[in-house]
Chains A and B, each alone.
Chain A
Amino acid sequence: MYLEMKHISKSFGNFKVSDDVSFGIERGKLVALLGPSGSGKTTILRILAGLEHQDEGDIYIGGKLMNGVSVKDRGIGFVFQNYALFPYLTVHDNIAYGMKLRKKSKHEIQSKVSELLELVGLPGLGSRFPAQLSGGQRQRVAFARALATEPQVLLLDEPFAAIDAKVRKELRHWLKDMIEQVGITSVFVTHDQEEAVEVADELIITNEGCVEQVGTPIDIYKNPQTSFVAQFIGESVILDDYAYEKLRGFQRQEGAPSAAIRPEFVKVIAAGQEPEFPSIYMNGVIRHKEFRGRYTELTVQIGDIELKAEQQIDEGNVKKGDAVKVMVSRLFAFDSKQTYNLVNLGLKNENIYYI
């Protein structure tokens, strides 16, 4: 592991912001620290940078112990949430700042700055001041500035938070491409799942100062290991008190009274249609229908259970109040410690039959 955090703990007063945090990151990987606000993800990033110092635990970068090393000697590049560009310096001087501190020659600085401006797609804007740039452009400059000192690790704090939705999508792809191109080990903080899944090679899910799960987006999505991850990832509906055993094809998993059901696990068809596995379909009623742009969100009631489902635009057209047939393909059953990935028994049997 190129970058390692081992049993990092940190408190502000009585409040534990990091609680025995451990994880490792391979060289060249782009990793997202993902969690709700207040989950301690930014603190982890700042401890990694040396902007905060842990009370306990060790940090290694490239095999070297970094515990007492201050931020200026840690060899990291940091992109701040508000970019923190020096407003009184031109774009050129902002990018050149770290190199000037390192007493690089004028010529070297000049060519590196032009190279970086070229890289981030802002050639010719070197003489502008930050106030004369758009939010997206400022972010690119902040990125170029962080890379100028050739750091070993790039850390980004909510890099897209201050940018409007349209540009944000563009910038995500851009950042992913950039980081791949440069090949630098990078960690960024976000509270936006979509963003994390789209950009990162690997996710570190944080909650209440702890690391809940580390893995690739697909892995975390398919196999949430803690109840928090099961609830946090995806837009799940949560059922308590073993209510899920009323759903056809599921049995009680002892010790796991709650269940998280994501919209994509729920299939809704019109009452008249004949499904492939009729035995696991239940009768339901559409309670709400909300158009969400790319899809329609349905709220469907089965007995006393309400579930959410997504319907693509070309997938038929059920209306509010319609009687429908509903099937749940799988769900995550959990208690406070453990998560079970339950697949609809009807589907399981059919699968065995077909294979």
Chain B
Amino acid sequence: MKEEHKLITIILKSGLITWLLLLAVWSFGAMFYTDDFLPGPFVTLKGMAGLISDGTLEKDIMFSLIRVLKGWILGLLFAVPAGLCVGYFKPAGYVLEPFLNFFRFIPAIGFITLFLLWFGVGESSKVSLIFYAVIFPVMVNTIAGVKSVDYSLIEAAQSMGAGRSKVFFTVIVPSAVPNIFTGVRLGLSGAIICIVAAEMLAASEGIGYLIYTSRLYYRTDWIFTGIFTLGIIGLLADKLLRLLGKRFLYRFGVR
């Protein structure tokens, strides 16, 4: 009896039930419609196999991933230091915070046309767009991290002889790590969302392109394939990020 209970708990916790339920509802729903309107799991899998065998899906994934990584890393390189400065140095805050509070409410997608106009249809417009999408969640969270530092830690450092810059590097930065890490994760999901939109409008490869062009061929199964790929990439990327965080940032309080 006990053993069975344990097994049930494990299954419940794994989220397997959710997935099975989703699959069941999907299959059931698909029975009432044509494959062009709502392809079932099996049809989608077949379409996916086709895309994999001719290399399209792999190529599209690679293109999207590289764009996401470029924009995301560039965004982090800018936003983390900027957020730390805005949070800690008051004058930097006075200058940058109004800018931040204005632009962070404008979604990246709103800028797609402008960025295409300014940066051309090549890679740089897409990377800049992701950069834009990444910096706000990262900065906002980094600033929150700086502002939530336990003040007694700062005083402790001062009492042992730390000046302003030492306090910044030995107390503020390490204490803000968990919040920064949250920002980094949010930034990644923002980047993935944004790249799809950009690739739909102007690209000749990538997951967004795949989803958008499939409609021309009436391949609803390919659209489903693209959507699932996105979900899986996001899930795996976040999982990997969290694992890395746990492995290397545990001492800073990243769990």
Enumerate chain A interface residues (CB-CB to B < 8 A).
49, 51, 70-73, 76-78, 80-82, 84-89, 97-98, 101-102, 129, 145-146, 148-149
Contacts and interface: CB of A to CB of B under 8 A. Distances in A.
B132 to A, nearest CB: 32
B197 to A, nearest CB: 38
Contact of B160 (A51, A81, A145): A145
A151 to B, nearest CB: 9
B152 A72 contact: no
Contacts of B177: 88
A102 to B, nearest CB: 7
A86 B174 contact: yes
Interface string B149-165: 01011011111111100
A51 B158 CA distance: 9
B156 to A, nearest CB: 4
A51 B155 contact: yes
A80 B158 contact: no
Contacts of B153: 84, 86
Given A86-B153, A88-B174, A101-B166, A149 B251 contact: no
Nearest to A100: B170
Given A80-B152, A82-B152, A101-B166, A88 B159 contact: no
Contacts of B218: none
Contact-size category for B:
20 to 34
B152 A98 contact: no
A148 B166 CA distance: 18
Query: Which of the listed residues B153, B158, B159, B251 has the most CB atoms from chain A within 10 Å of its own CB?
Result: B159
A72 B158 contact: yes
Q: Is the interface of B mostly helix, strand, loop or mixed?
A: helix
A78 B159 CA distance: 6
Given A97-B160, A101-B161, A145-B160, A84 B155 contact: yes
Contacts of A80: 152, 155-156
A263 B64 CA distance: 81
A97 B155 contact: no
Contacts of A129: 251
A51 B177 CA distance: 26
Contacts of A145: 156, 160
A172 B171 CA distance: 30
B171 A72 contact: no
Highest count of chain B CB atoms <10 Å: which of A49, A71, A73, A81: A71
Contact of B159 (A76, A82, A102): A76
Can you list the 3 inter-chain pairs with the closest CB atoms, starting with the nearest?
Answer: A98-B160, A84-B152, A84-B156
A129 B253 CA distance: 11
A80 B158 CA distance: 12
A87 B177 CA distance: 12
Contact of B157 (A70, A82, A97): A97
Contact of A97 (B152, B170, B252): B170
Contacts of A148: 160
B152 A102 contact: no
B161 A84 contact: no
Contacts of B142: none
Interface string B177-191: 100000000000000
Interface in B197-255: 251-253
A344 B253 CA distance: 64
B42 to A, nearest CB: 50
Interface string B104-133: 000000000000000000000000000000
B141 interface: no
B44 interface: no
Contact of A71 (B150, B159, B170): B159
B158 A71 contact: yes
A97 B252 CA distance: 17
24 contacts: A71-B155, A71-B158, A72-B161, A76-B159, A78-B155, A78-B156, A81-B152, A84-B153, A84-B156, A86-B170, A87-B253, A88-B174, A88-B252, A89-B251, A97-B160, A97-B170, A98-B160, A98-B161, A101-B160, A101-B166, A146-B159, A146-B160, A149-B160, A149-B161
B21 to A, nearest CB: 39
- Greatest chain A CB density within 10 A among B155, B163, B174 is at B155
Contacts of B175: 88
